[in-house]
């Protein structure tokens, strides 16, 4: 590991840290240490990083702003690559928007609304990055990324890069080809929006932000929606009807505000959260014969 770190630092790719607590990089504030934590300063730096990692046969995974993520208490083997500053460029050309994978969705939605561009209002309160949103086809308020994405620039596991069209990304509910069939990092995304009334767009964006504040427990550390909606049912409603709101295991608690959120009351572990997830799954299956699937991504050492 020492030689690898030395090589990365000589390549001047950005920040490189050992045994970095992932609790500092997830919105639920949970997670053991990553063996190696890298924050590339640009796309070129990321490409250099990937070449070095592949050459040394180091397992890796990418993260954005750490939402929708639960990291094991035992941490992550290998390297974690965080996309942030340096991979958050933004270019707006009439109705076409090109954003870096590390760009904040909330920040992007605000900027776009001020330009009078319509179609991104649904993302106003989603606390993730552009890369993560494309990866999981993030959505809310009846829309999602697949409705507005034109193409995305992907860095694949073998170090190759390719622009994939909307169709090639094979979007479905909270899913894309990047999750299983062709794992990769979203370097950039191009969105096609529409001209609209700036005042109406801003008002709609604010309404969506306010709705999240009023209905979701973002005043506590949390990972966002824990379960996928088992359509036509809704996860939060099933949890509430089962009387599970407020149920707590260790420091992890099902929010009393929204049944599809688990909050960290201050000292929760990943094991607490996993036990609570399993309890919900067992209860909903027993009561309603509905199998709940997690939307939150669970990663790290077993």
Please give the chain's pLDDT, 302 residues, in tens: 788 999 999 999 999 999 999 999 999 999 999 999 999 999 999 999 999 999 999 999 999 999 999 999 999 999 999 999 999 999 999 999 999 999 999 999 999 999 999 999 999 888 889 999 999 999 988 899 999 999 999 999 888 999 999 999 999 999 999 998 899 999 999 999 999 999 999 999 999 889 888 899 988 999 999 999 999 999 999 999 999 999 999 999 999 999 999 999 999 999 999 999 999 999 999 999 999 999 999 999 98
The sheet carrying 248-249 orders its strands as 248-249, 252-254, 262-264
What is the Cα–Cα distance from 113 to 122, expressed in whole angstroms? 11
What is the Cα–Cα distance from 92 to 190, expressed in whole angstroms? 10
> Tokens at residue 79, please?
């390297």
Query: What pLDDT score does 127 carry?
Result: 86
Element (H, E) at 139: strand 139-140
The catalytic residue positions are: 174, 225, 295
Query: What pLDDT score does 292 carry?
Result: 98
Query: What pLDDT score does 180 carry?
Result: 83
Measured from the Cβ of residue 166, the count of other Cβ atoms closer than 10 Å reads 17
Query: What pLDDT score does 159 carry?
Result: 87
* Distances from the Cα of 191 to the Cα of 39, 113, 151, 184, 231, angstroms: 25, 14, 7, 19, 27
The CATH number corresponding to 90-215 among 3.40.50.620, 1.10.10.10, 3.30.465.10, 3.30.565.10 equals 3.30.465.10
Fold assignment, 235-299: 3.90.78
Can you give the residue ranges of every domain in the chain? 2-82, 90-215, 235-299
The CATH class of 2-82 is alpha beta
Q: What predicted TM-score, i.e. pTM, was given to this entire model?
A: 0.91
What is the Cα–Cα distance from 107 to 127, expressed in whole angstroms? 9
CA 208 to centroid of chain Cα atoms: 19
């Amino acid at each position: 590991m020492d030689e690898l770190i030395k090589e990365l630092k000589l390549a001047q790719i950005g920040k490189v840290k050992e045994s970095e607590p992932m609790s500092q990089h997830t919105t639920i504030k949970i997670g053991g240490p990553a063996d190696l934590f890298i924050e590339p300063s640009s796309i070129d730096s990321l490409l250099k990083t990937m070449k070095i990692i592949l050459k040394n046969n180091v397992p890796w995974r990418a993260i954005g702003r750490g939402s929708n993520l639960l990291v094991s208490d035992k941490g992550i083997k290998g390297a974690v690559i965080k996309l942030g500053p340096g991979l958050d460029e933004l270019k707006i050309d009439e109705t076409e928007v090109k954003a870096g994978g590390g760009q904040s969705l909330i920040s992007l939605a605000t900027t776009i609304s001020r330009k009078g561009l319509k179609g991104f209002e649904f993302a106003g309160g989603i606390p993730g990055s552009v890369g993560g949103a494309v990866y999981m086809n993030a959505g809310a308020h009846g829309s999602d990324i697949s409705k507005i994405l034109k193409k995305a620039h992907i860095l694949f596991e073998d170090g190759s890069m390719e622009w994939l069209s909307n169709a090639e990304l094979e979007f479905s509910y909270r899913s894309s080809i990047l999750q299983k069939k062709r794992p990769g990092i979203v370097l950039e995304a191009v969105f096609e929006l529409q001209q609209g009334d700036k005042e109406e767009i801003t008002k709609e964006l604010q309404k969506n932000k306010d709705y999240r504040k009023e209905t979701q427990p973002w005043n506590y550390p949390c990972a966002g929606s824990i379960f996928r909606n088992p359509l036509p049912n809704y996860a939060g409603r099933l949890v509430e009807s089962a009387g599970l709101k407020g149920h707590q295991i260790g420091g992890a608690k099902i929010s009393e505000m929204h049944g599809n959120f688990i909050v960290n009351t201050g000292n929760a572990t990943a094991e607490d959260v996993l036990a609570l997830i399993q309890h919900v799954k067992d209860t909903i299956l027993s009561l309603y014969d509905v199998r709940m699937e997690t939307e939150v991504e669970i990663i790290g050492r077993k």
